[in-house]
Amino acid sequence: MKLLAFIFATVCLPASLLAERGVVDTTASPFAKVQTVGLDEVHWTDGFWADRFELCRTQMVPSMARLMQGTNYSQFYFNFEILAGLAEGKSRGASFNDGDFYKFLEGASATLAVTNDAALQKSLDDIIAVIAQAQETNSYLDTWVQLHQRSGDTNAAPFSNPENFEMYNFGQLMTAACVHYRATGKTNFLAVARKAADFLFDELKNPTPALANNLICPSHYMGIVELYRATGEPRYLELAKKFMAMRDLVKDGVDDNQDRLSLARQTEAEGHAVRANYLYAGAADLFLETGDTNLWRPLAQIWTNVVTTKMYLTGGCGALYDGASPDGSKDQKHITRVHQAYGRNFQLPNTTAYNETCANIGNVFWNWRMFLATGDAKFMDVVELALYNSVLSGGALDGTNFFYTNPLRVTDPMPLELRWSRTRVPFVSSFCCPPNLVRTIAESADYAYGKSADTIWVNLYGGSSLDTQLTNGENIKLLQETDYPWNGRVRIKIVACGQTEFSLKLRIPGWASGASVRVDDAPADFSPKPQSFFEIKRAWLPGEFVDLDLPMPPRLMEANPLVEEDLNQVAVQRGPVVYCLESPDLPAGVKISDVVIPADLKLTTRLDRSLLDGIVVLEGKACARPEEDWSGKLYREFQPEELKPIKIKFIPYSVWQNRGPSEMSVWLPRNP
């Protein structure tokens, strides 16, 4: 990294002033039922998520820093250095590379709240100083546009082409700057974001349809609301409202960008899944600040549409590589090509499932904000489902290789050639997913707890510590001990508390039938209900504890019969973890397509610490068809087959393809 010849002045605030600020900060949001806890108030201590955070800190952040500061694959930081006059060269890379670099900076910043790594903080200060120097005097900042202008490209003007993704870049800048501010107390990055927001406020005073066309891949909704929360500047909330209102200025809108209809008229998830989920998350953010029912009404309807007809068992979103929308419309002039589309209801293919990692992360963003607005456990169920499955599957266990898409079935040979690799790779031309995964893992502890006036909400289970203050002034310290998700037993210890009574609300997942709670070894007065929060309110004493037992038997899952690709098939889930069958675990000569699952399958659980960094495997007996030759045949007369018994072993879907190229399937045919 080249260092600046000058020192960029930073303003530092006492860490205590930022202690209660999380990635999403709802501490002052008037329509939030649950407040977020601070980045430095909750830490993973051991177990599953502590291991993932450590992988992120020691492998993902350093390796991505090297990639993004180099020029081997593309240019990220180097574009800023050129623009700042510190290097010679020209723009190279995708127009959205700035935004993806900001995502990485956000993830790196989030680790600082836990590690206080002085070397990392110094590196971030150096990078931020270069970014600040690259910002124009009018506060515009977009390296792709600025460098193309500098090279004489007369078509490169601000907001002249929606595919330049300027608003996406601005939005990621704002979010990253807020996280950096909360993690470090420094305002150097925040100052860059504020200047950019002030530029947008002036630029959009009299918005036009042409300007409104630039509101695609809308990270700017989340970004500007978070900047309002971080600074208290009312103009930024007004700008957030303007962003939303500008959507209705778009002429001849398309479902690809969710602007064919106004948001208030939408009832189903349509179009590009990343853009959709970012829009829904941003609209939920705006609702948390304004209480605008015209935002909440469509969000509630769209959410129901997604979870009941368009979401994969893994929490993945965006089923189709390429769709057409509105699907089957009589008004054919409105039918448009849609990239990574949500598709129609119940259209959930497995082999050609797109499920871009960013869309799955967007699903987490959206449901997290819906939970903060309501305190409803069903939204946290989706957060947990996506995190453990379709989000973590986006990265390899080495922390340096990534999936862009996340299919639920891979065979050899594949029925057709597809655009993205079925082997995780260090770089893809659209490098949006890897830094998104970095920031999500770095910030994962932020989802574990919430709080309200006299309540601590326990949302996710994992070895962790919490040190926070309720709004009534009481300081609460908790310690959570568990081997979740491999084991459903959880103990929460009261380490410190005041004398005023407060509530612990424990999330009981929707799958957790038969859950039980004990307080200091005494059974609770009533039984927990699945997909709810179990409340224990009392005057607590340090040293007291709560034991939660969430039974985790392996379950055979089936899909709605309208999901044609899953008809007469079953999948396996245990707790929040969806499992798959992978070819390295099959007997020699047996392919994934040969396996048949008996309807009365009995599975045993076994913790294998030597396999895939330590996982619980599910083992049992199934059947296999004899190997057959279908070459050159599309149909044939049905031929009864003699099935032979085989031993099978299921592994978590998130860790498939960590042992080299393989076949894999989540859904498998059942034998009645």
pLDDT score of 82 more than 50: yes
Q: What percent of the chain has pLDDT over 70?
A: 97
Number of C-beta neighbours around residue 425 at 10 A: 14
For residue 192, what are the CA distances in angstroms to 110, 129, 149, 379? Answer: 18, 9, 21, 34
pLDDT at 18: 52
Average pLDDT over residues 425-434: 95
**Helix (H) / strand (E) containing 433:** helix 433-442
Both tokens assigned to 463: 């070895």
pLDDT at 155: 86
Average pLDDT over residues 236-263: 94
- What confidence tens digit (pLDDT) does each residue in 568-609 have? 999 999 999 999 999 999 999 999 999 999 999 999 999 999
Q: Give residue 21's pLDDT band: very low, low, confident or very high (50, 70, 90).
A: confident
Looking at domain 450-549, which CATH architecture does it have?
A: Sandwich (2.60)
| Domain spans of the chain, in order of start | 450-549, 555-671
Report the alpha-carbon distance of residue 28 to residue 232 in Å, rounded: 10
Is 249:282 a contact under the CB 8 Å cutoff? no
Strand runs labelled E in 586-662 = 595-598, 604-608, 615-624, 644-652
Report the alpha-carbon distance of residue 78 to residue 164 in Å, rounded: 18
pLDDT at 400: 98
Number of C-beta neighbours around residue 452 at 10 A: 17
Mean pLDDT of the chain: 94
Q: Give residue 226's pLDDT band: very low, low, confident or very high (50, 70, 90).
A: very high
Residue (of 438, 439, 457, 444) closest to 44 by Cα position: 444
Report the alpha-carbon distance of residue 86 to residue 460 in Å, rounded: 45
Average pLDDT over residues 539-549: 97
CA angle 303, 309, 313 (to 5 degrees): 95
pLDDT at 6: 25
pLDDT score of 287 more than 80: yes
- What confidence tens digit (pLDDT) does each residue in 327-362 have? 777 777 777 888 899 999 999 999 999 999 999 999
Is 482:491 a contact under the CB 8 Å cutoff? yes
Number of helices and strands in the chain (H, E): 16, 24
**β-strand pairing of 569-574 with 516-519:** unpaired
What is the full DSSP assignment across 211-243? HHTT--S-HHHHHHHHHHHHH--HHHHHHHHHH
- What confidence tens digit (pLDDT) does each residue in 258-271 have? 999 999 999 999 99
12 Cα distance to chain centroid: 30
Report the alpha-carbon distance of residue 460 to residue 453 in Å, rounded: 20
Buried b (16+ CB within 10 A) or exposed e, 240-256: bebbbebbebbeebbbb
Report the alpha-carbon distance of residue 383 to residue 459 in Å, rounded: 10
Among 323-337, 366-380, 442-456, the range scoring the smallest mean pLDDT is 323-337
What's the N-to-C CA distance of the chain in angstroms?
Answer: 62
**What is residue 452's three-state secondary structure?**
strand
Report the alpha-carbon distance of residue 287 to residue 299 in Å, rounded: 10
pLDDT at 7: 26
pLDDT at 525: 86
447 Cα distance to chain centroid: 11
Q: Give residue 20's pLDDT band: very low, low, confident or very high (50, 70, 90).
A: low
**Helix (H) / strand (E) containing 323:** strand 320-325
The secondary structure of residue 444, as a DSSP letter, is: G
Strand runs labelled E in 497-643 = 502-508, 516-519, 522-523, 532-538, 545-549, 555-557, 569-574, 577-582, 595-598, 604-608, 615-624
Report the alpha-carbon distance of residue 126 to residue 248 in Å, rounded: 41
Please, is 319 exposed, middle or buried when counting C-beta atoms within 10 Å of its C-beta (0-12, 13-18, 19+)? buried
Average pLDDT over residues 512-533: 95
Backbone angles phi, psi at 506, to 5 degrees: -100, 125
pLDDT at 1: 36
- What confidence tens digit (pLDDT) does each residue in 303-315 have? 999 999 999 999 9
Number of C-beta neighbours around residue 109 at 10 A: 29
Is 527:515 a contact under the CB 8 Å cutoff? yes
